[in-house]
Amino acid sequence: MFGRIGFGLAGDRFGAQRVLVAGLLAQAFGVLAYASVGQLGGFYAVAVVVGFIYAGTMPLYAVIIRENFPMRMMGTIIGGTAMAGSLGMSTGPLLGGLIYDTFGTYAPMYVGSWGLGLAATLVLATFKPFPAQPTARLAAT
C-alpha cells in the first residue's frame, strides 16, 4: 500500500517513466541482495524492501501504457502485460526449484533475475512512445 502511494506520488511529480526506471533498477539490485543474505532476519529485511519497490512500480505500468499507446490498443497491451507477468510469476518458482536442485544454491537464480531486471530497466529507459497516427485532413476545395 505505501509503495503504491509513494511511487504514484513520485510518478505524478517526476514522470512515470523516470520513476519506473528507478524502481526497476532498485528492484534488480534488491533481488541481487538475496544472494548475499545468510540469516532469516536479513531475508525478511530484503523481502520488505523488494516488496515495497515491487508494489510501488505496479501502478506505474498503467500510466506508461496510457501515455504511450493509442486507446484502441489498451486491451491488447494491458492483457499482454498481465499475461507476461503471470507467466513469469508462475514459472519463477519452478525454475527456482530446478536451479536449486541443479546447483545446490539459489544464487544463480538471483543473478539471473538481476540480469533480467537490468534488461527491463534498459528497455524502459530507451522506450519511445508509439507513433501518433496522423489526423485526417480535409481537402481544400
For the chain, give every domain's residue range.
2-125
Q: Using alpha carbons, list the distances in angstroms from residue 87 to 80, 110, 138.
A: 10, 18, 46
C-beta of residue 34 within 8 angstroms of C-beta of residue 110: yes
User: Can you give the three-state secondary structure of the chain, one letter per residue?
Assistant: CHHHHHHHHHHHHHCHHHHHHHHHHHHHHHHHHHHHCCCHHHHHHHHHHHHHHHHHHHHHHHHHHHHHCCHHHHHHHHHHHHHHHHHHHHHHHHHHHHHHHHHCCCHHHHHHHHHHHHHHHHHHHCCCCCCCCCCCCCCCC
The whole-number pLDDT of residue 44 equals: 97
Give the pLDDT score at 135: 59
Q: Which pLDDT belongs to residue 129?
A: 74
pLDDT at 134: 62
pLDDT in the model for residue 109:
94
| pLDDT of amino acid 139 | 57
Contacts of 25 (CB under 8 A, 6+ apart): 117, 118, 121
- Please tell me the predicted confidence (pLDDT) of residue 22: 96
pLDDT average per 10 residues of sequence, the chain (141 residues): 86 93 96 93 95 92 89 92 91 94 94 95 87 61 54
